[in-house]
Structure 1
Amino acid sequence: MKRVLSRLAQAGLSALFVLLIAAHVVGLIHIAPMQRAEAWLYDAWLIRTAPAGVDDRVAILDIDEASLKSLGRWPWSRDTLSTLVERLFDRYGVAAVGFDVVFAEPDTSSGLDTLKQLASSDLAGSRDFRAALEQLAPRLDYDARFARVLAERPLSLGYYFIPQGYGDAKTGMLPPPSLPAAAFGPLQPGTPPPTGYGANLAAFQQAAQGAGFFNMRADEDGTARQMNLVSLYDAGYYLALSASTLRVAFGGDPALAGIDRQSVLGRQYLSPWLEVGGIRVPLSADGTVHVPYRAGSPFPYLSAADVLAGKAPLEQLENRIVLLGSTAPGLADLRVTPFSNAFPGVEIHAHLIAGMLDGTIRATPPWADDARLAAVLLLGALLTAVLLRFGPTVGLAASMVLLALLLAAYGAAWSRFWVVPMAAPMLTLLGLYALNTAYGFFAATRSKRQITKLFGQYVPPELAAEMSQNPAHYTMEGQSRDMSVLFSDIRGFTNFSEKLPPAELAEVLNAYLSTMTRIVQQHRGTIDKYIGDAIMAFWNAPVDLADHATRAVQTALDMQAALAQLNQEFAARGWPDVKIGVGVNTGRMSVGNMGSEFRMAYTVMGDAVNLGSRLEGITKQYGVGILVTQTTVEADPVHAFMKVDDVRVKGKETPVAIYEPLGPKDGLADTVRQDAAEFEAAFARYQAQDWDAAEAALRALNARAPRTLYDIYLERIAHFREVPPSADWDGVFVYTTK
């Protein structure tokens, strides 16, 4: 039942995710990352497929820094512009010129107005002055000359529309609309119509064969990917500068427009189109097209100053469509495109003209939103079913296959000059896979997290991970089982702590406990608790360990071995050496979550646990670092041991044999084996009250390698010589303290 509910929840989350993306596709909500992904996909594909090479049909006449330095700041006099236009057509034989600038103010730089004022005032009586003025006026009327130049040649002026929210000023004279408002039938532009404009002087507009708006359009991220070729204003549609320039270049015939009706799966769609110069261009529903950028530097840039001076190469201008614009930073006509963050705005018009000439203009087909909505819903449902039925591995393969199909569809549409947004269905697949995989992971690891929460503070992370694979096998309920327990303690800790200030003492303890805990966990031990400087650990719970005794003994040996390095670090900081005693016992113990209603702890209890604690306490009596019991020796086939004594600890009547671990049997030095054997023989003679033989053996051992252990037995022998043991003495040493 729980599995069914989990699957239902997983399916519900998947459906909600798909519906959110679908709501974005139909415009009910806006998901900004989706738009950024769409832009990234478009840019990547555009850059990958953009054609390279130089275009010999379009050139850019650049108002660059060199021109400004040579001819003065912009705007230049109309006399200069007239000469420039005449030079372009008469010397260089260009096909047409489009102005990416606007001429909104009259040119008074010739001084003609001043001369006329003098003729009507101070020099009103001078016939010679009036005669000279009549002869000079045609040459000094720069605007009239510029208008004549415009009227005689195929040129398109530029102007701009003012978008809604930016005022409603109307300056200059707009050309008549190129198309009536009903040109595209029931289609409406996707953006609100402009509320004003900034156009050219009436004389220029009336003289010119064409004019087009040069407004740029940017996406949410500020990048120019699409441009309007037509814009609705008042009574009709107006052409963009690129379309207007192309129209005059091909003879100036009127532009045409209309809509094509398409039937896709029984549904009717309307596709608008625009025709200029005999070239039909498909449009998106809002009158935009995608700019067909080319790679590299396809259009030559020629300095306006060089053209005026006659220095520009003829072959770069002859029979070309020329666009007059600026790359000078001070004139602020730089845009962000998929290819550059500082792209001359005039070049965007050049790419549009080249695209119209090549027939490579791309538009978004009217069925694009329906197609991607269907892809989101159908592919989302399909992938969800696969993930629920077959899991993440098959789901990953299915996701990759479906993504490949979507990319293939995107490429196929691109090859037909359609831009069909595919980021939404692609992100649907990726998001569904990630969501379902994450859900499956969290659902599958819920019990694992519970195990980690319960046992993570006791066992090392790798054990917690192992336990989480089968959480039902582990419990914190009390149980009785054979286990090994270890106690360790710093010897003389009270004196040790008095030598250090509290802050340094805390550092010492932290370093010591961290090192020792790491060793316990390396051998899969469970930390029970810290008692001041003491450590209590156990093995064979909660994880089953058949070799728990061996692991406990090796842990004790490694803890003693680690002290050498640790003490070197302490000595370098002026801290005293640390010495520890370790006791290990194996036996039947109770383990589980024990405590009170106020606090619980996973711990072990029982006589075997208490004995392990006693062993740690008496290690210092024998001058050894580790003591283990007979039961531990019997359960550990890996290590070699030396019997140290038979003792009765406080609170116990049954004697216990205690041993010192010598190390792994494999690789144990012969001298260590020999010394252990000789000591055990001496200990046997001691228990048999053969004082002389025991003493001789112990002194021989002490002579080779002095040990506190040997001295203790020599002292006992000396004591028994003076005070012989009772007749029923069994050789067991009795401890009356813990």
Structure 2
Amino acid sequence: MGKKKWIKTLVVGLLLTLISTYFYTVSSSGLFYFVEGPLQDNLRKAKSIDERQPDDRIKIVKIDEKSLSAIGKFPWDRSTYAKVIEKLEQSGVAAIGIDVVLAEPSKNPADDKALADVLAKYSNIILPIQINYPSKQKQAGDLVPETIDYPSSTLTTKSNQMAHINVLVDKDGKARKLPVGLPDIKGSYIPAFSVALANLVLDEKEKIKRDETTGEWMLGNTIIPTNERNQVTTEFYTQPRQKVDASTGYEMLSFVDVMNSTKPLPLKGSIVLVGPFVTAMQDEYPTPISSVKMFGIEIHANMIQTLLESKFYKDASRPLGVGSILLISLLAIFLFDRYRGKTALFIFIGMFVIYGGIWLAFYTVSSIFIPLIYPQFALVSIYVWSLVSHYLEERKERNRVTGIFGRFVSKTVVDELLQSGEDVKLGGSRKDISLIFVDIRGFTPMSERLEPEQVIQVLNEYLDVCTKAIFKFNGTLDKFIGDGVMAMFGAPIEYDNHPEMAVRAAIEMKSQADILEQKLIRNYGIGVKFGLGINSGPAVVGNIGSEDLRLDYTAIGDTVNLSARLESNAKPGQILISEQTYERVKGLFEIEAIGEIKVKGKEKPVAVYEVIGHL
């Protein structure tokens, strides 16, 4: 490929790469999040039961229909929560999370005091903070609160006993990630409910905290892979509303059963989450693992286990993602420019599958999701461009070859060679054709009287007349022979009426030559005429010559020879045809019999006819 074409390919390829990179970086999850996200979801859902073993330390106390029926309409008295907390503490739990917003003071101060006393007595209790955001932020990606609902001041909750319970959903409305911390109105970070509860059971060196210098969230010495919204991917170990089973779900207890228990429950060392488990309380979210919504308390439970096990399935860094797009794109640009056809198709399929394998390997080995759709989008775009580009190049080259080659032989010959898709080879086939030989009578005397430039000009005008007439009637211009022309009809494209077409072409040449002769007489005082011979019959038509150096598409045989002999016997302005041609065109033209003449190469005289013109 020429340098200019290579530069064009490189520029277009890089442009497609930039488009794919833009789609990847346009937002936190990219433009094709609706494809990329579900692919990641399906991969994560494919885990076995053994890989999804729920942590038996995590328990859920449900505010369910049974509890609402027994205790009464919600909201409940704060003393109710105080009673349940006491029961749980007596059972030796490690941490308690109350997932019920208690922002307003109770109508009965005694209720608030009962809960406040419990909170003061035990330091392992976390109450929720609800951060409220405006419907639209000033800038995309911002998380500036509009209001924040803290626990009521009447509860005298300590700052280390509060954490946010916000669940931020992706663009498709599904909860995949939880923010480990969110800024308050002053910019200070409030830890997540799950983070605060996990910290109550983690060793001091393993506790989760924010590095104020770098802004990174750390689990001990390990960086938690959060995005720009401080979110980390949640690993789901249970299905929504999972029935209690030691192997498939967190153990669940009804709120009223805990409250009415008369002896300690088997909850020693457990992390207990207390929260709504009824649809009417509107605390449920779509998740990627099921079409059934999951209650917020279940999402927090899964997030706690994610943090405790440090299983973070993270997205690749932007530089790594952009690098993968660039690498695939540059390789595709080079290969698709170099190869085409089936080879290019196999390369495309191979690259597509191999990159899919690399994507899967990154996930399996390193728990990293490198971009899948964006590099493959670039790959597909560049491949499609290469198909279009190669097609346009081939069309351009075809037109160029047809234009150049068509000046020397008939365009029908070029078309047949190009459409066949085969190499030009020596050899031919026997065909029934008609041949015209044309010669300019009086050309030699004229050339002696005119300047060389004038001779060439006159010759070109006469040959132009012949060529146009031949092509007009679908003939093939075989060759120029000095001041003569050889043409055939019926090859390479076969026509049943090729003798008629040959005669019509001859009449056209004669009439146009008469007009040209008058012009020459006016300009130079001398005129010339055509002598034409036509014969029809079998001949071998094909490529003759040197296979490596030069081939000539022509016809050979006795039919050709007789046509040439008829032309040599034709007088100026005369069209002579053989008996074979006459038998096929009689009745179509005005023809007169001349009789038999002796021609070179024939032992017996041949019958000859003169075409006078159209009927």
TM normalised by structure 2 equals: 0.58
* Residue equivalent to 1:106: 105
* Residue equivalent to 2:289: 339
* Residue equivalent to 1:273: 217
1:324 aligns with 2:294: no
Q: Is 1:107–1:142's contact at 8 Å kept on the other side of the alignment?
A: yes
Q: Is 2:38–2:288's contact at 8 Å kept on the other side of the alignment?
A: no
Between the two proteins, what is the percent identity of the paired residues?
21
Shift in Å, 1:103: 0.4
1:243 aligns with 2:243: no
Query: Which residue, 324, 330, 333 being the options, matches 1:375?
Result: 324
* Residue equivalent to 1:211: 162
Query: Which SS does the other structure have where 1:143 is aligned?
Result: helix
Cα distance change, pair 439–417 in 1 and its aligned pair in 2 (3 A): same
Alignment root-mean-square deviation, CA? 4.8
* Residue equivalent to 1:148: 117
1:159 aligns with 2:134: no
Cα distance change, pair 248–482 in 1 and its aligned pair in 2 (3 A): same
Q: How far apart are the structure 1 equivalents of 2:226 and 2:35? A: 20
Q: How far apart are the structure 1 equivalents of 2:120 and 2:78? A: 14
Q: How far apart are the structure 2 equivalents of 1:204 and 1:54? A: 33
1:14 is matched by which residue type in structure 2? Answer: G
Q: How far apart are the structure 1 equivalents of 2:395 and 2:252? A: 64
1:431 aligns with 2:381: yes
Map residues 391-540 of structure 1 onto 2, 5 A cutoff.
391-399=340-348, 400-401=350-351, 403-405=353-355, 407-408=357-358, 411-412=361-362, 415-441=365-391, 444=394
Q: Is 2:60–2:250's contact at 8 Å kept on the other side of the alignment?
A: yes
Q: How far apart are the structure 2 equivalents of 1:145 and 1:543? A: 108
Q: How far apart are the structure 2 equivalents of 1:167 and 1:34? A: 22
Q: How far apart are the structure 2 equivalents of 1:318 and 1:167? A: 44
Shift in Å, 1:388: 0.3
1:288 aligns with 2:231: yes
Query: Which SS does the other structure have where 1:157 is aligned?
Result: strand
Query: Which SS does the other structure have where 2:32 is aligned?
Result: helix
Query: Which SS does the other structure have where 1:336 is aligned?
Result: strand
* Residue equivalent to 2:78: 78
Cα distance change, pair 386–252 in 1 and its aligned pair in 2 (3 A): closer
Q: How far apart are the structure 2 equivalents of 1:289 and 1:99? A: 22
Q: How far apart are the structure 1 equivalents of 2:28 and 2:265? A: 52
Q: How far apart are the structure 1 equivalents of 2:433 and 2:418? A: 19
Q: How far apart are the structure 1 equivalents of 2:52 and 2:312? A: 16
1:192 is matched by which residue type in structure 2? Answer: L
Cα distance change, pair 387–83 in 1 and its aligned pair in 2 (3 A): same
Shift in Å, 1:102: 0.8
Shift in Å, 1:447: 9.5
* Residue equivalent to 2:522: none
Q: How far apart are the structure 2 equivalents of 1:394 and 1:40? A: 32
Query: Which SS does the other structure have where 1:206 is aligned?
Result: coil
- Structure 2 unpaired stretches of 5+: 243-248, 400-414, 425-431, 435-488, 506-584, 592-615
Q: How far apart are the structure 2 equivalents of 1:61 and 1:445? A: 73
Map residues 571-590 of structure 1 onto 2, 5 A cutoff.
588-589=500-501
Cα distance change, pair 55–652 in 1 and its aligned pair in 2 (3 A): same
Shift in Å, 1:423: 3.4
Q: Is 2:336–2:386's contact at 8 Å kept on the other side of the alignment?
A: yes
1:621-646 per-residue CA deviation (whole Å, 9 max, x = no partner) reads: xxxxxxxxxxxxxxxxxxxxxxxxxx
Shift in Å, 1:273: 3.0
1:290 is matched by which residue type in structure 2? Answer: T
Aligned length: 427
Cα distance change, pair 49–355 in 1 and its aligned pair in 2 (3 A): same
Shift in Å, 1:165: 5.0
* Residue equivalent to 2:177: 226
1:238 is matched by which residue type in structure 2? Answer: I
Cα distance change, pair 166–159 in 1 and its aligned pair in 2 (3 A): farther
* Residue equivalent to 1:23: 22
TM normalised by structure 1 equals: 0.49
Q: Is 1:352–1:361's contact at 8 Å kept on the other side of the alignment?
A: no
Cα distance change, pair 407–482 in 1 and its aligned pair in 2 (3 A): same
Cα distance change, pair 382–73 in 1 and its aligned pair in 2 (3 A): same
1:48-104 per-residue CA deviation (whole Å, 9 max, x = no partner) reads: 3473233212122222233333333321222322222223332x4432111222101
1:145 is matched by which residue type in structure 2? Answer: A
Q: Is 1:14–1:384's contact at 8 Å kept on the other side of the alignment?
A: yes
* Residue equivalent to 2:45: 47
Q: How far apart are the structure 1 equivalents of 2:420 and 2:33? A: 42
1:385 aligns with 2:337: no
1:657-691 per-residue CA deviation (whole Å, 9 max, x = no partner) reads: xxxxxxxxxxxxxxxxxxxxxxxxxxxxxxxxxxx
Map residues 561-576 of structure 1 onto 2, 5 A cutoff.
none
Q: How far apart are the structure 2 equivalents of 1:70 and 1:649? A: 115
Q: Is 1:229–1:239's contact at 8 Å kept on the other side of the alignment?
A: yes
Q: How far apart are the structure 1 equivalents of 2:79 and 2:274? A: 16
Q: How far apart are the structure 1 equivalents of 2:105 and 2:385? A: 65
Q: How far apart are the structure 2 equivalents of 1:309 and 1:542? A: 106
1:13-66 per-residue CA deviation (whole Å, 9 max, x = no partner) reads: 222101212334454x89964333332332233223473233212122222233
1:549-594 per-residue CA deviation (whole Å, 9 max, x = no partner) reads: 8xxxxxxxxxxxxxxxxxxxxxxxxxxxxxxxxxxx99744899xx
Shift in Å, 1:229: 0.5
1:677-723 per-residue CA deviation (whole Å, 9 max, x = no partner) reads: xxxxxxxxxxxxxxxxxxxxxxxxxxxxxxxxxxxxxxxxxxxxxxx
1:237 is matched by which residue type in structure 2? Answer: Y
Shift in Å, 1:282: 1.5
Q: Is 1:155–1:248's contact at 8 Å kept on the other side of the alignment?
A: no
2:375 is matched by which residue type in structure 1? Answer: P
Cα distance change, pair 73–252 in 1 and its aligned pair in 2 (3 A): farther
Shift in Å, 1:243: 0.6
Q: Is 1:448–1:471's contact at 8 Å kept on the other side of the alignment?
A: no
